[in-house]
Structure 1
């Protein structure tokens, strides 16, 4: 009854989201805005229509009856559900984060926010780890901090340096990864990796793993080649920018990888590496003739054994078509993990003689495996003593011998670097649950017990060390200028073979421990899977 039929919601869903699922039916006093054929709105940006509604006719059902707006404490922070670093405001009531809303940042998320970032908030309360656990006689039992850390310290001290390793997860802040890197390097271990997906990135100039044109800058590209990525599921807000450029008629878009409905027209060039080895003439001509060509590289192209060869081929292509020139750098890596760029910037990759995350998980590879919020790998195949430091009882905690409860991203102040290399600071909204501590503080306490005390006692001291060792972390809210580098030197030359590029995000609603703990995300995932199952029948 509140609707004034302004059709703002219809225009957003049709024009910005690119999914014409709602409209106005009937006439006169019977006119109403509704979905067609009783179908759910199939968009990753649907929650934005509530922000657009001028009269409050649209409300957020997951938050209904849970709070009054004036009861909430508001904190401006950063989203970590993808690698874009969307600016958000987190509203809390007591010890619980109740809702997430977007903040305006024209360079990153404009005024929009993806549904995952907005509605996964209920996952912050469920399946939480709130006290340490140790495994005894095959079963986990609650333990004190001293007992849990003592057991981990004893195992670390007893194991040879080349038999211990650490894998960092996708939601980690830069401070926790820096503390872990310093600790394991002090122990003499070269086995450190932040690339859970097995990406070939991490060696070479910083520009080799950044989205160099900038998220806003990609709208200026007049020819775009997407390789091994599905921007609609991996970065919905970037996909909206690509749609904007397509609507304006300023950009031709080509895709190598899985075909999908990206909400705009594109030329499908092929499924994988065979196409990349010999790009169709029309696509090559479009890139060569373009004034500002751009290549968007997804994790689906760079993971696996052929990743280095694919990276080398993409670098050679970028050099051939002039994607990296003075004043323009169109070589863009689209990450899906909020922690990935920060990890690569600080060198959280295997050192000389070290092994990758995939090799650490093999039977007999290590004696002690430390999972720093690493939940996108399967640790059950490893026979090492497994330690999990994280916030949720997810994959990493299953089978762990010691569980150390950490803080979620809304429960700590931390630095994150988005896919374009912009350093941003997330603020604490509420305090950690139960006996949980901030990740860096746990690692600092552990370092003292293993006899390699880290040289910082406060978060400020840790940040000072981080910025001294890696000055890029001191440039808060600074978008790096498009730096020039030689893309032809990336990766390693090799046979590309004939492998298909598949997006690393198979289900955008279940990408991390927080989303997998969310009831709302489970319902959205079911809605996404249901039409596929019906089509198969």
Structure 2
């Protein structure tokens, strides 16, 4: 490991480190625009200039210069100071002075670095260059005159998302960043370029002119749009969530987030349930809480009660519902709304055991029944990294564009039992083999054969567990840890024909299967479940309550309350607690803290942030076979949950990016 001296301080740096990284290890801040830790080195903004000896007597770009033994690096010399001032002076030659109306204002790297490293005035008086705006779709607003050609957006699209949709045209002062043929950027991670852009060239179209960053309250939360559990920050003003941004977590989402998770924010204020409704004479009528509770109590259901959990629920709500049904003498609880009935007696058999971070190190991967780009976009980013490192990927299911080299083996799940010889050879030679079973594979009965495959090819070995299931619902693993599932799935609930059905935001259930039951919908949006309900009790969305979530890899994470629910809506657990009083039973808690403490006492893993440990894989059931054509459950990436379906932004994304609908601008 080479030793270098930074401003008189001698430090040891890792082999292969750059001068910029050496300076940061020494605690020195190096300004930069084009350099980003997760992207390739471009070296084209020249802002990170430092003085290095031995070397030419001129400032050098530290991001592209390797750190070598004996270097003397100066970050604060007069030469470096003047060089940085000159770079900023050049960058500002054509940059418009529109900070007061720029959405990047207050969060702008160019603004901040000009303040700290720039000159007090410009010596240039030539006319500024103007660049026409580019259309990048309904999510990204462009003002390309502000662009400083850092190419972060280009490198992200090519290297991380794997979609070559953004590039540079022309040369010199005529250079422009644009999408191919000026079409909309249409991949699932496109809006991450908004966070990467160091100036106001690429900003959020839905958030345009909404607020300044210092006006917003920032709350740490978890994304519930899929089962990846991306760490997010919820920015709110008053009782309204204005935007959602990613948080850095190298174990889960790095610093990316899907477009759906980012832009479903406006769906939190539309189609909201903010008062109690009771269906009378086939029509819903506004009512009081007491009227609804009295109607529920009047059913005299006894123990003939079922609870169905939706895909966005926190663990506390499901635990409260389970305690309520237990007090009533019922065990009719289920979270797999669409009828899946896979074995959940051993959670290691339905978990993403490799972990999201470690799947990058796999060298041979078999994906069975999962459209990963739509079901878990951030997992697809990890798989791209694995392929870059030489991994071979084989996919069983209908074709889709994975953004990396992969071989499709057919649509029939039966292919699983008769894999081509080159696939079995690849697994036989693999050091870190992995299988990933998606929702389509679970429906086709591929879980048992996948377990047999794992045993046959030794997918579990010292320091490596290559058996993985990727879920599509944020609530799924938490529900399974709480035992919120029947052995026979929804079929058991339907067979019991309960008199009272409590729907906890369950919008994907076919409620016509319960013709004689009183259906009570406890949720936050007027979606499919509310349309079928006899009684609607308004509840809180995920941003309006604290909660515990478990992602598809079994990682326990906590979310805080950002805003209050609208109107008469209440937090879900308080509704269930009041319902317990109405039905004359005790469920053992009177506050959220008591609820969480009781839940952790029964399931200790839910009290420790981080990966839960489920033990060894279960043995494969004998004679299990997967049959039939695999079908992916997600038909429209942008409209998979009630919040997303209420979002005007995501409705437009679905119409324009998936279905080819054209939208006229206001002037047209």
Same fold (TM over 0.5): yes
For residue 653 of structure 2, the aligned residue among 524, 527, 530 is 524
Tell me if structure 1 keeps the 8 A contact 2:368–2:395.
yes
Instruction: Please list, as runs of the form range in 1=range in 2, the aligned pairs for 1:35-434 lying within 5 A after superposition.
Output: 35-155=179-299, 158-159=300-301, 161=303, 163-249=304-390, 251-303=391-443, 307=445, 310-350=446-486, 356-358=489-491, 360=493, 365-383=497-515, 384-434=517-567
Superimposed CA distance per residue, residues 481-515 of structure 1 (whole angstroms, 9 cap, x where no aligned partner): 6x6524433x5644433x11122211110010000
Superimposed CA distance per residue, residues 408-467 of structure 1 (whole angstroms, 9 cap, x where no aligned partner): 000000000111111111100001111111101100110111111210001111111111
Question: 3-state DSSP class of the match of 1:63?
Answer: coil
Aligned to 2:616: 485
Give the Cα separation in 1 of the matches to 2:624 and 2:172: 67
Instruction: Please list, as runs of the form range in 1=range in 2, the aligned pairs for 1:483-522 lying within 5 A after superposition.
Output: 485-489=616-620, 493-497=623-627, 499-522=628-651
User: Structure 1 residues 21-30 or 404-413, which shifts more?
Assistant: 21-30
Question: 3-state DSSP class of the match of 2:529?
Answer: coil
Superimposed CA distance per residue, residues 157-189 of structure 1 (whole angstroms, 9 cap, x where no aligned partner): x2253x431110000000000011111122222
Aligned to 1:458: 591
User: Structure 1 residues 76-85 or 20-29, which shifts more?
Assistant: 20-29
Give the Cα separation in 2 of the matches to 1:245 and 1:78: 25
Over 3 Å counting, the alpha-carbon distance change for 1:31 and 1:428 in structure 2 is same
User: Structure 1 residues 33-42 or 83-92, which shifts more?
Assistant: 33-42
Give the Cα separation in 2 of the matches to 1:502 and 1:318: 23
Q: CA deviation at 1:248?
A: 2.4
User: Which structure has the greater CA radius of gyration?
Assistant: 2
Question: 3-state DSSP class of the match of 1:111?
Answer: coil
Over 3 Å counting, the alpha-carbon distance change for 1:484 and 1:324 in structure 2 is farther
For residue 10 of structure 1, the aligned residue among 154, 164, 184 is 154
Question: 3-state DSSP class of the match of 1:180?
Answer: helix
Tell me if structure 1 keeps the 8 A contact 2:414–2:625.
no
Give the Cα separation in 1 of the matches to 2:577 and 2:364: 48
TM-score of the superposition, structure 2-length normalised? 0.75
Give the Cα separation in 2 of the matches to 1:413 and 1:494: 41
Question: 3-state DSSP class of the match of 1:59?
Answer: strand
Superimposed CA distance per residue, residues 202-240 of structure 1 (whole angstroms, 9 cap, x where no aligned partner): 522221121111100101111111010011011111101
Q: CA deviation at 1:361?
A: 5.3
Q: CA deviation at 1:116?
A: 0.5
User: Structure 1 residues 34-43 or 384-393, which shifts more?
Assistant: 34-43
Q: Give aligned pairs, total.
A: 517
Give the Cα separation in 1 of the matches to 2:470 and 2:181: 36
Tell me if structure 2 keeps the 8 A contact 1:417–1:424.
yes
Question: 3-state DSSP class of the match of 2:530?
Answer: coil
Give the Cα separation in 1 of the matches to 2:541 and 2:612: 28
Q: CA deviation at 1:145?
A: 1.1
Over 3 Å counting, the alpha-carbon distance change for 1:496 and 1:54 in structure 2 is closer
Query: Are 1:25 and 2:165 matched, yes or no?
Result: no
Question: 3-state DSSP class of the match of 2:284?
Answer: strand
Q: CA deviation at 1:368?
A: 1.9
Give the Cα separation in 2 of the matches to 1:528 and 1:365: 42
Give the Cα separation in 1 of the matches to 2:245 and 2:171: 34
Tell me if structure 2 keeps the 8 A contact 1:326–1:484.
no
Give the Cα separation in 2 of the matches to 1:46 and 1:372: 32
Q: CA deviation at 1:532?
A: 10
Superimposed CA distance per residue, residues 237-258 of structure 1 (whole angstroms, 9 cap, x where no aligned partner): 1101101111222x11110111
Tell me if structure 2 keeps the 8 A contact 1:102–1:112.
yes
Give the Cα separation in 1 of the matches to 2:494 and 2:184: 41
Question: 3-state DSSP class of the match of 2:616?
Answer: coil
TM-score of the superposition, structure 1-length normalised? 0.93
Q: CA deviation at 1:128?
A: 0.2
Give the Cα separation in 2 of the matches to 1:472 and 1:395: 33
Give the Cα separation in 2 of the matches to 1:144 and 1:134: 9
Over 3 Å counting, the alpha-carbon distance change for 1:60 and 1:492 in structure 2 is farther
Over 3 Å counting, the alpha-carbon distance change for 1:246 and 1:494 in structure 2 is closer
Over 3 Å counting, the alpha-carbon distance change for 1:125 and 1:361 in structure 2 is farther
Tell me if structure 1 keeps the 8 A contact 2:147–2:201.
yes
Give the Cα separation in 2 of the matches to 1:326 and 1:262: 30
Tell me if structure 2 keeps the 8 A contact 1:360–1:369.
no
Give the Cα separation in 2 of the matches to 1:346 and 1:443: 17
Please, which runs of 5 or more residues in structure 2 have no aligned partner? Answer: 1-144, 663-668
Q: CA deviation at 1:40?
A: 1.0
Give the Cα separation in 2 of the matches to 1:401 and 1:506: 29
Question: 3-state DSSP class of the match of 2:501?
Answer: strand
Over 3 Å counting, the alpha-carbon distance change for 1:455 and 1:529 in structure 2 is same
Tell me if structure 2 keeps the 8 A contact 1:324–1:487.
no
